[in-house]
Structure 1
Amino acid sequence: MGHCRSFFRWLLRHDPWRLALVLASLPVLGPLLLLRSTRKWPIRFAVWVATLGRTTDALASLAEEHIRSLPMGHASVFLPAGIEQLQAHIAQGDKVVIATGCVEALAQTLLRHAGLSHVPLVASSLRPFLGGLVRDQHCFGPNKIPMLSARGFAPPWAVAYTDHHADIPVLRLSSERYLISPKAKCLARIEQALAIRATILAWR
């Protein structure tokens, strides 16, 4: 998710007029960022501006350009320990799927660069709207469950890995749960919600 935000910021900076349009909207939309209930509207507007005049195919090409512009390429996004763990599951014959709130075009490109394009992916999708692209399905929090189910990965799950408390609904439906270098607040929320002692993986 964090890198997805970075990608859309890069898209805005890629064409100065896009960034200028977002900045011009701040007097109206800026205050909405202060409340969690309204924060989504300025973010959705920024995504629409970033994709204005662009197709989903064009977005995939831009994702490729963006990854190549990173100092370490895809290696600056993926945790080496995470890739090793994923490959270990595959080697054991486990059925593995990656579910991420990242937009699909970027997530697919990142996986391809990491040599993981064969791993099933369930990610957030966009749809055309007034010349740009807006959110269609957001693979985040409880919405991951129906999206995974629709792709043939219905719960219960044997193992789940996460670094965000938004995945509590997914963790509830998993037999084993691993938290990746969680922040203290995230750890507390998950342990309180699930009434368990979490298993922590210090990968960062």
Structure 2
Amino acid sequence: MAEPAPVVVFDFDLTLTRWDTADRFFRWMLKRDPWRCGLVVAALPAVAPLLLARRTRKWPIRFAVWVATLGRGVESLPALVEEHIQSLSPGHEPVFLPAALDQVRSHLAQGHRVVIATGSLEPLAQAFLDRAGLGDIPLVASTLRPFLGGLVRDQHCFGAGKVPMLAARGFAPPWAVVYTDHHADLPVLQLGHQCYLINPTPRCLARIKQALPLVPTVLAWR
């Protein structure tokens, strides 16, 4: 029997892309309606202290996402994503890094099973991949669910949460190769035979080197 094709896992934001796509999308949603920004500003005295500790930092972010989506349903997200992408100026830098696209296409040409695992929003990441001609690559991404008139986190494809979500989609570890830019993906990196870090900060690189039995390869794509 033939050997199964190697599985290659790519992170998305700041690994394949120039910016954090979900962050920019939700900021755009907040800014397009002044009352949403006003609601976030009014809540700052209560939520800003939560940003100081890593354990509580997620709550202000989730609050901002909820405010950005108030009055919106999950079914409205594809249209909002399309409007957001259309709002990017024609002269704007492409979202994808050329070296990243070359690496993805190289793995595909070798017959490897490529999968993208990202904390970004599923319809957002999928729309960008479609426009890059990579829409057929399996995508494991975050989803939202309705809550009190807005949307909140449902499945969050981030950190250790990526491992069971990838396994549920048929990409169980160990993986042949893992690409990421951030130490939040340590649980994924620890299950890869080869690890590549994309433009890591010195702090990120130090944390990963300390935790991994192998020395990761650093790639300068940005």
> For the Cα contact (< 8 Å) 1:56–1:105, is it kept in 2?
no
Q: State the number of aligned residues.
A: 204
Q: Please tell me the residue identity of whatever aligns with 2:214.
A: I
State the TM-score, normalized to the length of structure 2: 0.87
Gaps of 5+ in 1: none
State the TM-score, normalized to the length of structure 1: 0.95
Higher relative contact order (CA 8 A, sep 6+): 2
What is aligned with 1:13?
31
> For the Cα contact (< 8 Å) 1:74–1:113, is it kept in 2?
no
SS state at 2:195 partner: strand
- Are 2:100 and 1:92 equivalent residues in the alignment? no
The residue correspondences of 1:163-174 to structure 2 (distance < 5 A) are 163-174=181-192
- Are 2:84 and 1:66 equivalent residues in the alignment? yes
Greater share of residues in helix: 1
The answer to which of 52-61 and 93-102 deviates more is 52-61
Post-superposition Cα deviations, 1:96-118, rounded to whole Å, max 9, x if no partner, equal 10001101121111111111111
Alpha-carbon distance in structure 1 between the residues aligned to 2:178 and 2:126: 20
Gaps of 5+ in 2: 1-12, 14-19
> For the Cα contact (< 8 Å) 2:21–2:125, is it kept in 1?
no
The residue correspondences of 1:1-150 to structure 2 (distance < 5 A) are 1=13, 2-71=20-89, 76-150=94-168
> For the Cα contact (< 8 Å) 2:143–2:156, is it kept in 1?
yes
Q: Please tell me the residue identity of whatever aligns with 2:110.
A: Q
SS state at 1:154 partner: coil
What is aligned with 1:194?
212
Alpha-carbon distance in structure 2 between the residues aligned to 1:69 and 1:75: 13
- Mark the CA change 1:74 to 1:158 in structure 2 (over 3 Å): closer, same or farther: farther
SS state at 2:113 partner: coil
